[in-house]
Chain A
Amino acid sequence: MPQVTLTVNGTKHTVEVEARTLLVELLREQLRLTGTHVGCDTSQCGACVVHMGGDSIKACTILAVQCEGADVTTIEGLAKADGTLHPMQEAFREYHALQCGFCTPGMVMSAIDLVNKHPNGLTEQEIREGLEGNICRCTGYHNIVKAIAAAADVMQGRRSELARAAE
């Protein structure tokens, strides 16, 4: 069987995979990183989004063997070692941007990349369009959009709505 060596959340792994194994299967079934989810089979839902080399990708749409030498971050790798949440995770909690939690890991990973790719901030419409590749069935997206806007402020060093409200 082919071998692939990749770094996931800072740890290097060498794994034997079938040639047809998808990255998401490698993560979930071989590395037991079950935070990354599978919600569809047509690359529509975005529950499986992870970061590879800093870009968000759908882990259901790339073969594990294509990930040789890759640097992958999953939802499990976002918080700091001391447990401090990433500002995006914190904002999702603060703004009630999750209900069942199933789309949440992919939504958070997409949102972080979306913010990173817009260093000058995003409009509400840009956030909504930027979430085109992620489906949530619970929230109606309203609170997800608010959370991303708030997290963008924190990530980009602007005074957030929250901070303003507290003052």
Chain B
Amino acid sequence: MNVVAPFEGIGASVRRKEDLRFLSGRGHYTDDINRPGQAHAYILRSPHAHAAINAIETAAAQAMPGVVAIFTGADLAAIGGLPCGWQIHNKDGSPMAEPKHPVLAEGKVRHVGDPVAVVIAETRQQARDAAEAIAVDYTPLPAVATMQAALAPGAAQMHEAAPGNLCYDWHIGDKAVLDAAFAKAHKVVTFETTNNRLVPNAMEPRAAVGDFDPQSGDYTLYTTSQNPHVIRLLMGAFVLNIPESKLRVVAPDVGGGFGSKIYHYAEEAIVTWAAGRVKRPVKWTADRTESFMSDAHGRDHVSKAELAVDKDGKILGLKVHTYANMGAYLSTFAPCVPTYLYATLLAGVYTTPVIYAEVKAVFTNTVPVDAYRGAGRPEATYLLERLMDVAAAEIGMDRVEFRRKNFIPVDAFPYQTPVALQYDSGNYFATLDAALEAADWKGFEARRAAAKAKGKLRGIGISTYLEACGIAPSAVVGSLGARAGLYEVGTIRVHPTGSVTVLTGTHSHGQGHETTLAQLVADRLGVPIANVDIVHGDTAKVPFGMGTYGSRSLAVGGSAMFKAMDKIIAKGKRIAAHLMEASVEDVEFDRGTFRVAGTDKTKTLTDISLAAYVPHNYPIEEIEPGLEETAFYDPKNFTYPGGCHIAEVEIDTETGKVSMVNFTAVDDVGRVINPMIVEGQVQGGVAQGIGQALLESAVYDADGQLISGSMMDYTMPRADDLAPVSVATHTTLCTHNPLGVKGCGEVGAIGSPPAVINAVVDALKEYGVKHIEMPATPAKIWNIINGGRKAA
């Protein structure tokens, strides 16, 4: 009988291997970990946005039941501050202001939620009770809650090392060339906007368990991280001075990240250090309120853009000025987000010949801001794709034709933009046409009229976007200020009887790597995915790695695996040549079978692995036993996914509420390994983008209190806020990685917000609306519909 195994390789929508444990309650998240003898930490946080600490009185708390120890900034004075992983230089070449980010506050607090003291107790409740008995004597200081307030003359100064609350004043592009282009413009279109501050809100709150073995002096940190090796490096080398060999970092199942779990956080250092001090494991788990005031926030730009256009609608130049909020301290990768992940994307999918952008990064008395799904690229895309609509309207051109007229031609790749990046491949016409067709763009006016007849305002909006991901060539990012390499590591371990263990430096926290990466092995080595195990998230098991962010896992991590499989196949061919008494040049390999070319002599991968581990008949002088290979892969370029998103909305004129009617995404993410997972990634990203456009906003009052500090106040998208998302892909292959993949994790969040706002503005065009700021809440829209009158 000829049994055909189901195809599990590249292109198959294989159901996920990880799902069974998640669906049966057997996931293994950090808060599920309990170590023998474990104590619990509670972190006392500042209620003030800006205050001097005069004294911290802990004696009463120390006497409370169950208290093991209490530590304040004074106890941690000998350890380092939390390091920043990227240094930006000012226009004049001087380095950015980089004030210390203490693990526990030293003399001053700078945002609501800034950690002040930690109580270690037998139970979490006892630690919390004792924290309430700590008396902190604060002198409140004037707070700067907005960038405008922080930059105002006479503003309260947050850091001695950052005069004027300025982190950096950076630019890219040639201003003289830009000015010349603008001088020739038929029209200059100006657009100003705020990109709203978001709270990532992964459903799993952050948690950390520190463990210390007094016998060996070894530390272990279990943490909710997207990149355990990076945490080991940052915390070991810069904060606690623990050598890598004595520090293991484990990131087990992680319940969503979206960027917020990239960074090295104070609590990780606190529990690790405290475990060494109290000689017991120490566990900390955030409650959601703490997440709101201690997880890095996202976005928060204020920008002005000017677009120079000739009389035919061809773009001549783009000038952008942006203020970017850093919050109170520099989070791990914060400085690169509004610079190299933002301004370099301002060409988008267009042939804009000259671009000049300047960015001022500002400290404020708010939670630090860092990368959130898309990181810089959504901000650039939103600015550009809103500007395209505003400009088309001003010059009286159809918004689709205006875009098409300025697209980078299909035959122009590789395409060098004026802002550093070189795109390797893409076809923006194809994704546009496919999306217009799928969304029935032509039939829209009939739907608008039908909605109008029911008293509803209907609008349609488009966004043709591009992003740079697959982060990133180490030498390039190093020259731009990164303090790390951004290669990835993969080990392929073929066991004696042919099953495979993959060790990857990337980390899965929802992306489904245990399935997708296994499919790469199935496709190439012919091993069923049931026999392929993906190991990630443990520095004691995986040789090294830089983790998962910037849609890099497949493009960089998958490519490292591909290289390691090259080595497995090369070694396997040498062993097979010996066993089949052939020349190695004559041995071919295809999905698990080694064959002497032109003969029926074959050996399976299992024959070879068995020979490699039981080397009786084996060329032991020439080839080492074993079948395990590791590869480091450093990407040659970023990858450039792009596509077209179309949103269709309907507005209830009575309430101002926007309903999503339809959303169409046609994305070019390169080669698709698992279509089901890609579709899920796009849908999830689009949901976050719709959340930004319509619902979400982190709101501070003038004193720096976070008003939207809980899930009752911060509007998370729920099932009835969203509509079905139609997802399609149109592939052009990445030309510089062996898999041809580009990445799909962020496209949804990058392409969608301007499509939604363009649709809302379109729906409201009869009211003369040219722009509406995100989130487009019912209150804002009701006020527009009612001519700015306030509700009675």
Interface residues of A (CB under 8 A from B): 18, 20, 28, 32-42, 44-45, 47, 74-76, 78-79, 85, 89, 92-94, 96, 98-105, 108, 125, 127-129, 131-132, 134-145
B289 at the interface (CB under 8 A from A): yes
Residues of B within 8 A of A140 (CB): 683-688, 717, 722, 725, 748
Q: Are B724 and A138 in contact (CB under 8 A)?
A: no
A18 CA to B123 CA, complexed, in Å: 12
Q: Are A103 and B25 in contact (CB under 8 A)?
A: no
A90 CA to B433 CA, complexed, in Å: 37
Q: Are A100 and B25 in contact (CB under 8 A)?
A: no
Q: Are A139 and B684 in contact (CB under 8 A)?
A: yes
Closest to A33 in B: B25
Q: Are B711 and A100 in contact (CB under 8 A)?
A: no
Q: Are A139 and B205 in contact (CB under 8 A)?
A: no
Q: Are B510 and A101 in contact (CB under 8 A)?
A: yes
- 7 closest residue pairs by CB, A with B: A35-B25, A102-B255, A101-B22, A140-B687, A100-B510, A99-B510, A75-B25
Residues of A within 8 A of B676 (CB): 96
A34 CA to B253 CA, complexed, in Å: 13
CB distance from B755 to the nearest CB of A (A): 15
B592 at the interface (CB under 8 A from A): no
Interface string of B389-406 (1 = CB under 8 A from A): 000000000000000000
Q: Which of B12-20, B214-222, B306-314 contacts A (4 or more CB under 8 A)?
A: B12-20
Interface string of B275-297 (1 = CB under 8 A from A): 00000000000011100000000
B3 at the interface (CB under 8 A from A): no
Residues of B within 8 A of A134 (CB): 718-719
CB distance from A112 to the nearest CB of B (A): 12
Q: Are A128 and B711 in contact (CB under 8 A)?
A: no
Closest to B714 in A: A44
Q: Are B719 and A39 in contact (CB under 8 A)?
A: no
Contact of A89 with B24 at beta-carbon distance under 8 Å, contacts A139-B683, A143-B680 already known: yes
A132 CA to B511 CA, complexed, in Å: 25
Partner of A135, one of B710, B718, B748: B718
Q: Are B15 and A94 in contact (CB under 8 A)?
A: yes
A38 CA to B203 CA, complexed, in Å: 9
Contact of A138 with B24 at beta-carbon distance under 8 Å, contacts A101-B18, A132-B719 already known: no
Partner of B25, one of A105, A142, A143: A105
Residues of A within 8 A of B288 (CB): 39-42, 45
B383 at the interface (CB under 8 A from A): no
Q: Are A100 and B724 in contact (CB under 8 A)?
A: no
Residues of B within 8 A of A38 (CB): 31, 205, 287
Interface string of B24-63 (1 = CB under 8 A from A): 1111010110100000000000000000000000000000
CB distance from B503 to the nearest CB of A (A): 21
Residues of A within 8 A of B24 (CB): 35, 75-76, 78-79, 85, 89
Closest to A102 in B: B255
> Considering the complex, which residues of chain B in the window 163-221 have a beta carbon less than 8 Å from any beta carbon of chain A?
201-205
Q: Are A143 and B683 in contact (CB under 8 A)?
A: yes
Q: Are B710 and A40 in contact (CB under 8 A)?
A: yes
A138 CA to B201 CA, complexed, in Å: 10
Interface residues of B (CB under 8 A from A): 15-16, 18-27, 29, 31-32, 34, 125, 201-205, 253-256, 258, 287-289, 509-512, 676-677, 679-681, 683-688, 710-712, 716-720, 722, 724-725, 748
A72 CA to B29 CA, complexed, in Å: 23
A100-B510, A139-B680, A140-B717 provided; 17 other pairs, C-beta below 8 A? A35-B24, A42-B288, A42-B710, A42-B711, A92-B19, A100-B509, A101-B19, A102-B255, A128-B722, A131-B718, A137-B201, A137-B202, A137-B716, A138-B680, A138-B684, A140-B748, A141-B687
Residues of B within 8 A of A101 (CB): 18-19, 21-23, 27, 253, 255, 510
Residues of A within 8 A of B718 (CB): 131-132, 134-135, 141
Contact of A93 with B15 at beta-carbon distance under 8 Å, contacts A37-B204, A100-B203, A102-B203 already known: yes
A142 CA to B22 CA, complexed, in Å: 19
CB distance from B192 to the nearest CB of A (A): 30
Residues of B within 8 A of A137 (CB): 201-203, 256, 258, 684, 688, 716
Residues of A within 8 A of B27 (CB): 34-35, 101-102
Residues of B within 8 A of A42 (CB): 288, 710-712
Contact of A100 with B719 at beta-carbon distance under 8 Å, contacts A42-B712, A44-B711 already known: no
Residues of B within 8 A of A108 (CB): 23
Q: Are A98 and B725 in contact (CB under 8 A)?
A: no
A37 CA to B724 CA, complexed, in Å: 27
A141 CA to B716 CA, complexed, in Å: 12
Q: Are B289 and A41 in contact (CB under 8 A)?
A: yes
CB distance from B739 to the nearest CB of A (A): 21
Residues of B within 8 A of A39 (CB): 203-205, 255, 288
A140 CA to B685 CA, complexed, in Å: 8
Contact of A104 with B719 at beta-carbon distance under 8 Å, contacts A45-B711, A140-B683 already known: no
A103 CA to B23 CA, complexed, in Å: 10
CB distance from A96 to the nearest CB of B (A): 5
Residues of B within 8 A of A125 (CB): 720
A92 CA to B32 CA, complexed, in Å: 23
A28 CA to B29 CA, complexed, in Å: 12
Residues of B within 8 A of A37 (CB): 29, 203-204, 255
A1 CA to B27 CA, complexed, in Å: 31
A136 CA to B748 CA, complexed, in Å: 16
CB distance from A7 to the nearest CB of B (A): 17
A38 CA to B286 CA, complexed, in Å: 10
A129 CA to B34 CA, complexed, in Å: 37
**Of listed A36, A93, A137, residue having the most chain B CB within 10 A:** A137
Closest to A21 in B: B125
A35 CA to B25 CA, complexed, in Å: 4
A102 CA to B204 CA, complexed, in Å: 6
Residues of B within 8 A of A76 (CB): 24-26
Q: Are A100 and B19 in contact (CB under 8 A)?
A: no
Residues of B within 8 A of A144 (CB): 719
Closest to B257 in A: A100
Q: Are A93 and B510 in contact (CB under 8 A)?
A: no
10 A-B residue contacts at CB 8 Å? A37-B29, A38-B205, A39-B203, A40-B710, A42-B711, A101-B255, A137-B203, A140-B687, A140-B717, A143-B680
